[in-house]
Amino acid sequence: MPIRNLHQKPFDEGTQDKLELYRDYLREWLPVFINGSFVDIIQIFDFFAGPGFDVHDNPGSPVITCDEIRNALTQTEKQRFKIKVYFNEKAATKFKNLSSYVEEQKISLPQVDFIAMKNDFHSAFNQWTPYMRGKVANLLFLDQNGVKQITKHVFQEIVTLPTTDFIFFISSGLVNRFRYRPEIRNCVPITNDDLSRMNGTNVHRIVAESYRRWIPDRLEYYLGSFSIRKGANVYGLIFGSRHPLGIDKFLKLAWKRGGDANFDIDNDRIDPLQPSLFSEYDKPNKISSFEKELETAVLKRHLTTNKEIYLFALQSGMLASHARKALELLVKAKKLPKQSFHVSYNAWKKPESERIQYY
């Protein structure tokens, strides 16, 4: 299977999109723990760190991580927490460059503990997971080449860690292309049914969804995904969190980029510069389908409170604002009376949920 060396050329547009999403999530995630008092240590693990830059000095994930920490620290007076950053990179030359960068950062960011290692991913993962438990918050960035590194064991270790969010990259297009190869089937939880629905466009969505099968029973967990297309290739990010606030923040960043892809994944053909006469035609398919699903779930009373509606939206890759809009449509169509509650993260935080009013 072809594996690209990302650092031999300048980062392409798809790589920039991936790294920008990582940057934006980090920017949202850091203040939650810097300004809160839930943890003593804030930790970022970049397991496939690369050298720090591409050949044109565009920032890679290690530089992004340090820049965002610097940024976040200038916006707070608090210093009761510790920040630890772990970088791992297996290739010797890249590790050498990474190490020089880390040495510079030790001087300009003395508040941060840096740990850099030149190991194979699995060895680094086994070595560092014991530090991921306790009064700590972890963000794991797993920017692998290809599809193979996030095995069932690794995935299940991560999702059962407390206060841990992850973002992992996967070359999903390879799953579609090499679908009959056992080495692909063995490392991604896809089924024959997934493969029958899979094509070159929806592949990452289906691959990302399939990881739900590896979430242990009864564990409340949220997954999100973002498909990235570059030329004929589709790959993407998979996000995971045990907390609604984590997935809420990730989905907001994804919807700012159009939903769950950096291209027209559902062939909606909406041109914002030339809106159609009927706004319904300018609604992405993903939103229309969600509105129908929410209507069925509410009218059949499978969802009966504002919290349930909020969590249903997040599990469907949608925001509280989409759920509110869907409810408004039901009120407008006189299928529900006007509701007095609000669907939002703040409402979710309140101890009591509010019940849906029916006719």
* Binding site residues, ligand SAM, CB under 6 A: 6, 19, 48-50, 60-61, 88-91, 94, 120-121, 143, 145
Nearer to ligand SAM, 40 or 57 (CB): 57
Q: Nearest distance from residue 330's CB to ligand SAM, in Å?
A: 44
Burial 214-251, CB ≥16 within 10 A → b, else e? bbeeeeebbbbbbbbbbeebbbbbbbbbbbbbbbbbbb
Provide, rounded to whole angstroms, the least separation between the CB of residue 22 and ligand SAM: 8
Amino acid (1-letter code) at residue 189: P
Q: Of 45 and 121, which CB lies nearer to ligand SAM in the complex structure?
A: 121
Q: Counting Cβ atoms within 10 Å, is residue 293 exposed (0-12), middle (13-18) or buried (19+)?
A: middle
Nearer residue to ligand SAM within complex by CB, 150 or 247: 150
d(CA 240, CA 256): 18
Shortest distance, position 70 Cβ to ligand SAM, whole Å: 17
Rounded to an integer, what distance in angstroms lies between the CA atom of residue 59 and that of residue 84? 20
Which CB, 51 or 244, lies closer to ligand SAM? Answer: 51
Q: In the bound complex, what is the minimum distance in angstroms from residue 285's beta carbon to ligand SAM?
A: 31
CA-CA distance, 359 to 356, in Å (whole number)?
10
CB of 104 to ligand SAM, least distance (A): 17
Q: Rounded to an integer, what distance in angstroms lies between the CA atom of residue 221 and that of residue 25?
A: 18
Q: How far is the CB of 93 from ligand SAM (least distance, A)?
A: 9
**Residue nearest ligand SAM by beta-carbon distance:** 60
Rounded Cα–Cα distance for residues 49 and 91 (Å): 10
Q: Which is nearer to ligand SAM, 10 or 275 (CB)?
A: 10
Cβ closest to ligand SAM, residue 4 vs residue 181: 4
Are the C-beta atoms of 46 and 143 separated by less than 8 Å? Answer: yes
